[in-house]
Amino acid sequence: MGSDTEEKTMATAETPENLPVLYFGHGAPPLADDELWTSQFAAWSAELPRPKAILVISAHWESAPLTIGATTTVPLVYDFWGFPERYYQVTYPAPGAPQLAASVRALLSGSGTPVAEAPARGLDHGAYVPLKEMYPEADVPVLQISMPTLDPEELFALGRRLAPLRDEGVLIMGSGFLTHNLSCVDMSRGPDYAPPSWSAEFDDWAAQAVHTGDVDALLDWQAKGPAATIAHPRSEHLAPLFVALGASSGTTETARSVIDGFWYGLSKRAFQFD
């Protein structure tokens, strides 16, 4: 049974059909200080149908088997180090989503996918940092699940299994970063410096592949993408895109970039799959 808070929220929300699927870069805790980026997230959410619940797959939670996070409101996971204390005081008390968790279990059990539970595991910064800008009232039930693997084909298949949630009014979010090599970031130069060639080239290639629906190339990104292993020395920030591609289930021809540009040389491009 869902919580009273979730039931009230879902009862008063519209019930849109076939919600879009999102993939975006979540930045870091200082995202909240970037006026342009925060305004872009706020404007984006204002244009979206109001979801009944949100399912988040973040670059910052890898756990096998696939694990369902908290279905009640629990403390956030401050999974970062060395930042000013104010970033550790941020709260985002979104309602839990037990009904959504039950739907996830049902969809995955039907395909034989093992599922674990982590009832004390709150939202990490890949989830709450963008959500705080998109839904600042924290009034939409949110559920986070782990990535059980970084294998693109398996994550795409996972997205395909989760796709029916869209017809239940669930907004599926993949939160990562389209290019992500922190060893090449120069924080002393400020957020707006021109991106290095490896980041710009991979961003352009990925955007073209998404917009033309070239899923095969995206799943084979290490071989097909320019400067791929520089753009992603490890693929956890690209991996949520594969879930989003699977959940879009053939709607990639309607994919569009909602946010583009660079932040400290990294691509902050965001996609919406309608």
| Residue 247, SS3 per DSSP | helix
Smallest Cα–Cα separation from 243: which of 173, 175, 155?
155
Question: How many degrees, rounded to 5, is the angle at CA 211 between CA 208 and CA 215?
Answer: 85
The secondary structure element, H or E, covering residue 61 is strand 53-62
**Lowest-pLDDT choice from 92-101, 128-137, 186-195:** 186-195
pLDDT in tens, 214-265: 999 999 999 999 999 999 999 999 999 999 999 997 655 589 999 999 999 9
Q: What is the mean pLDDT of residues 117-121?
A: 98
Q: What tokens does 243 get?
A: 């879930």
For the chain, what percent of residues have pLDDT higher than 90?
A: 81
**What pLDDT sits at residue 185?**
83
Q: What is the mean pLDDT of residues 139-159?
A: 98
DSSP 191-246: TTSPPPHHHHHHHHHHHHHHHTT-HHHHHTHHHHSTTHHHH-SSGGGTHHHHHHHH
Cα torsion 199, 203, 206, 209: sign = negative
**What pLDDT sits at residue 16?**
57
pLDDT in tens, 154-195: 999 999 999 999 999 999 999 999 999 988 888 788 888 899
**What pLDDT sits at residue 110?**
81
Q: Could you give the C-alpha distances from 70 to 27, 80, 202, in angstroms and in order?
A: 23, 20, 35
Smallest Cα–Cα separation from 243: which of 93, 24, 41?
24
Average pLDDT, the chain: 92
Dist. CA 48–CA 140, nearest whole Å:
13
Q: What is the mean pLDDT of residues 39-68?
A: 98
Q: What is the mean pLDDT of residues 89-99?
A: 97
């244009």: which residue's tokens? 47
**What pLDDT sits at residue 250?**
60
CB-based contacts of 162, cutoff 8 Å, min separation 6: 55, 104, 107, 172, 243, 246, 247
**What pLDDT sits at residue 182?**
87
> What residue segments make up the domains of the chain, in order of their start?
4-273
Fold of 4-273: Protocatechuate 4,5-dioxygenase; Chain B (3.40.830)
Q: What is the mean pLDDT of residues 136-156?
A: 98
pTM: 0.92
